[in-house]
Structure 1
Amino acid sequence: MISLPAAIEMRALTKRYRRTTALNGIDLKIPTGSVFGMIGPNGAGKTTTIRLLLDIIRPSSGTVAVLGKDPRSGGPSLREQIGYLPGELKLQGRVSGRELIRHYADISGPISKGAIATLAERLDLDLDRQVRTLSKGNKQKLGLVQAFMHKPALLVLDEPTSGQDPLVQQEFLSMVREARDSGATVFLSSHILREVGQAADTVAILRQGKILAVSSVDELRESAVRKVRARFTRISAEELRMTLSKISNLTEFDATERNGLTELTATISGDINAFISTIAAFSIAELAIEEPDLEESVLNLYRGGAADAK
């Protein structure tokens, strides 16, 4: 199999503002044709990373390559291959959305016939309304149209579904998958883990300018925390507690007896096979295991990162 070159590569990438280090020695290699998510709380360094990729700001040290080129010298030919949606999109003016998109089209390069109309229809966007009358959500849709319309090799999207309803969010996810399937690379930054988890192949978790972990979404799910609720017959609460205490990744569990049943509530992290194998020997009246809590999994990484920094 031929290995494709990295769409984005960062080596020891650092950005300082006087005494503040916004980004501290980032190393990342993002494969071509993938969806890469960067998540972290506000102020973690996500937007700084994006601005360095696009040569809006320049690094204090380290290197970055985008589509095989240095952003500082890539010029218009590199920018034409990138679709960008900023996190704080500010659109004003007494022009219609259609006129504004035409202006962007002159900058972006060739656009397939009907591409703009199709995107607007998918996002339920009226291009004939004046930009200044649009809500924040509709301005965001306009930003998505201009980012996707020329089918760029790289999409860089900062908080892309801010202010959008669930239907538009689902349509956006479909657009991202289609872009990836056509060979494009998508760099997606968000503080909403659910959004990144649905779209991305791989996720970097950023905190205070440092990467805590890079993981596939599947690996995150496997290590995530689940809530467990169960009811058993013919076993006492004490016997259940004694048996389950041997399962190392089962925590915060409690067993009580009520109405002839023993009720269990617990938290389990990572692999659930040991738990399932153990309770299979009991008479189970009811069992509910929640979907993996990715938010809690990432919060645990944040806590660990904070502890390491002390």
Structure 2
Amino acid sequence: MNEPVIVLNKLTKSYGKHRGIENISFSVKQGEIFGFIGPNGAGKSTTIRTLMGLLKPTGGSASIFGLDCAQDATEIAKDVGYLPSENCYYNELKVREMLQYTADLYGMDCRGRMTELAERLNLDLTRRIRELSLGNRKKVGIVSALLPSPKLLIMDEPTSGLDPLIQQTFYEILREENRRGVTIFLSSHVLSEVQRLCDRVAILREGRLVGLQSMEELRENGYKKISLTARKPVEKNFFSIPGVANLEQADASVSFMFSGNTMTIMDRLHQLELEDIFIEEPSLEEIFLHYYE
């Protein structure tokens, strides 16, 4: 059995009237790619900052490599690559100088790895930080986190601001890191991202843990958002079947979310003369509104 790399035990961070996190408990196994998902404002960044020792918990505890995150943050940081959701850099430094500063903090010669990662992510090492777009600043953060070849990667919303092609390269790099034994913990509000990468997910809503699932369980319970237009008005109760939620209907136009056996809803759709149909993945916000109420 792999020993847990991350353990949260009733972790709580209170901000008074403002939402924090409450009684969060789960563990992340060695070698796992673990997703931490929820809508924006759910408490993902608060949890991650507490894991990194940047915030002190109000209650409960968190540990990484068996060390307490609040008391042993400096020791833990030696083996962790961290990407915050928002980066603050020295704007006058060039990218190469900024990344060299990271390497120096770890006491490592990372010049070869720096060049390789920068080339793969199409990051210009000669530009000054102040000249970079949001996407390129994110690349600096990604390279900085990967640079020391850590045992654990903790990444908060890693792909926000990246264009789709760079996202694909980033996913490839994460899989490579994982194959060499790196444990990866990443937060996201994009369901398709964690479905693509993760082994398991913890689901956060309004500062509370509302689910802990394997990807197979998440897919089985996952909703599809269906919008259709029929050639003639659809009977009022036609889609009143188990698994249908958020049903909106106006004559021949119908939209709803569906969770369950795909053939059940396909049988219904086959009974209609359809002009148009659109099936998509709902946002996490939509899923939480209806799946976890």
Which amino acid in the other structure matches residue 210 of structure 1?
R
The alpha-carbon distance between structure 1 residues 275 and 241, as it changes in their structure 2 partners (threshold 3 A), is farther
**Per-residue deviation at 1:113?**
5.7
Counterpart among 291, 295, 303 of residue 283 in structure 2: 295
C-alpha RMSD of matched pairs (Å): 3.3
The alpha-carbon distance between structure 1 residues 198 and 223, as it changes in their structure 2 partners (threshold 3 A), is same
Q: Equivalent residues in 2 for 1:157-236 (5 A)?
A: 157-226=155-224, 227=226
Counterpart residue number, 1:5: 3
Distance in 2 separating the partners of 1:237 and 1:93: 60
Counterpart residue number, 1:248: 242
Q: Equivalent residues in 2 for 1:43-58 (5 A)?
A: 43-58=41-56
Counterpart residue number, 1:106: 104
Q: Give a deviation string over 1:167-200, Cα, whole Å, max 9, x none.
A: 1111111122122222111111122333333222
Distance in 1 separating the partners of 2:19 and 2:255: 44
TM-score (norm 1): 0.79
Distance in 1 separating the partners of 2:255 and 2:73: 58
Q: Equivalent residues in 2 for 1:255-266 (5 A)?
A: none
3-state secondary structure, aligned to 1:178: helix
3-state secondary structure, aligned to 1:215: strand
The alpha-carbon distance between structure 1 residues 268 and 159, as it changes in their structure 2 partners (threshold 3 A), is closer
Distance in 2 separating the partners of 1:253 and 1:72: 48
Percent identity, aligned pairs only, is 34
The alpha-carbon distance between structure 1 residues 246 and 104, as it changes in their structure 2 partners (threshold 3 A), is closer
Alignment length (residue pairs): 291
Q: Structure 1, unaligned stretches of length 5 or more?
A: 258-262
**Per-residue deviation at 1:165?**
0.9
Counterpart among 23, 29, 36 of residue 34 in structure 2: 36
3-state secondary structure, aligned to 2:93: coil
The alpha-carbon distance between structure 1 residues 111 and 19, as it changes in their structure 2 partners (threshold 3 A), is same
**Per-residue deviation at 1:86?**
1.0
Counterpart residue number, 2:91: 93
The alpha-carbon distance between structure 1 residues 230 and 114, as it changes in their structure 2 partners (threshold 3 A), is same
- Kept in 2, the 8 Å contact 1:224–1:294? The answer is no
TM-score (norm 2): 0.83
Q: Structure 2, unaligned stretches of length 5 or more?
A: none
The alpha-carbon distance between structure 1 residues 285 and 88, as it changes in their structure 2 partners (threshold 3 A), is closer
- Kept in 2, the 8 Å contact 1:155–1:184? The answer is yes
Which amino acid in the other structure matches residue 202 of structure 1?
R
1:65 and 2:53 equivalent? no
Counterpart residue number, 1:268: 258
Distance in 2 separating the partners of 1:283 and 1:24: 47
Q: Give a deviation string over 1:10-62, Cα, whole Å, max 9, x none.
A: 01101112344511110111111111122222321111101110111111110
Q: Give a deviation string over 1:271-308, Cα, whole Å, max 9, x none.
A: 2134557889x8999997835x2526x63334455x5x
Counterpart residue number, 2:113: 115
Distance in 2 separating the partners of 1:162 and 1:27: 27
The alpha-carbon distance between structure 1 residues 191 and 276, as it changes in their structure 2 partners (threshold 3 A), is closer
Distance in 1 separating the partners of 2:204 and 2:255: 32
The alpha-carbon distance between structure 1 residues 18 and 49, as it changes in their structure 2 partners (threshold 3 A), is same
Which amino acid in the other structure matches residue 295 of structure 1?
S
- Kept in 2, the 8 Å contact 1:97–1:130? The answer is yes
Which amino acid in the other structure matches residue 269 of structure 1?
S
Counterpart residue number, 1:154: 152
Which amino acid in the other structure matches residue 68 of structure 2?
D
Pick which of 195-204 and 208-217 moved more: 195-204
